Amino acid sequence: MQILHDYPLKSLNTFGIEAYAKEYVQVGDVSELKQILEFNRNKKKLILGGGSNMLLTKNIDALVININLKGIEVVDETTESVIIKCGAGETWHQLVMHCINLGFGGLENLSLIPGNVGTAPIQNIGAYGVELKDVFEKCQTIHTKTGELREFTKGECKFGYRESVFKNELKGEYIITHVFLKLSKHGFHRLHTEYGAIRSKLEEFGKSPSIETISEAVIAIRKEKLPDPKEIGNSGSFFKNPVVSSEQYKKLLEKFPEIPSYPISDSEVKVPAGWLIEKAGFKGKTFGNYGVHKNQALVLVNYGGASGKEIFRLAKIIQATVMRIFGISITPEVNII
């Protein structure tokens, strides 16, 4: 376990941004992590997982700790469900595939989401009608300053739409080491095919809904819409879908009759940010070596050699344009560093 200096982070962030860490270390177990935290208590730190939900706009003048804790195991089981414990350094999609291969349900709609397991609760990742909180049981963490070990229950995590306590009031205070998920066993799966895209893809495949076929459908849909970070630098959806009041949505309908929406409650409506960005004229637009993806307006891309500052500047322009046209504020889902 060696601390490296002026370490390149380009291969460790999915945007492929060239940036350097003043200091860098990778840890493979909790004891190593405790040791690093104890001996570097007063240093500024940045915790790095899969690097899939971040935009680096500068070199990191801090100790970057790359969490590489591995392992997936069943720790409890009933006739209907299992509890699995997963190390924070496991790749999320590999976890999903592992569970599906074992016949465990609940993660199939979350197939092919980039990133590692440890960052999933921070973001409360979600897709196609399912969020992490729907299967989340608890997580184990370590305090960055005291080294205290603490478990967080689902309630204590304060999950919201792409939100959690780790992204807000406890930001930077705890490092997630293990995540526990409650998944269903064969015969007790609750399949989510509410999204038309999933139903259409299953019809195209000529297959009935199951955890395996839903996963296949989601993977196919994501591959059609989203660029592979190994080929084009990106961080998936850059912006959250904004939630507006029903009154504001009615006014928007008068001006934009085709504006889509998803009801949240009697008084609130979610509007797709991708639609707003596309209607604002940004879909497929390039600015030298960066821009907005041609198939999905929610995705900002680095075609190679762009800086984080350039991409962030584009994000600010998109936000201002959407606000000017629609009067709607869209906020980044990605962490700007």
Strands 335-336 and 54-55: parallel
Q: Give the span between the Cα atoms of 181 and 162, in whole angstroms.
A: 18
Quick check: is 212 catalytic? no
Q: Which residues contact 328 (CB under 8 A, 6 or more apart)?
A: 242, 244, 248, 252, 271, 276, 322
Quick check: is 237 catalytic? yes
Number of residues that this document lists for the chain = 337
Whether the Cβ atoms of residue 91 and residue 116 lie closer than 8 Å to each other: yes
Among the options 23, 90, 108, 333, which is catalytic?
333
Among the options 23, 52, 131, 162, which is catalytic?
162
Whether the Cβ atoms of residue 116 and residue 92 lie closer than 8 Å to each other: yes
Cα-based torsion angle of the residue sequence 226, 213, 116, 164 in order, rounded to the nearest 10 degrees: 90
Quick check: is 184 catalytic? no
Place of tokens 């259409």: 200
Q: Give the span between the Cα atoms of 118 and 174, in whole angstroms.
A: 11
Structure tokens at 214: 């839903």
Taking residue 84's Cβ as centre, other Cβ atoms within 10 Å add up to 24
Whether the Cβ atoms of residue 301 and residue 234 lie closer than 8 Å to each other: yes
**Active-site annotation, residues:** 162, 237, 333
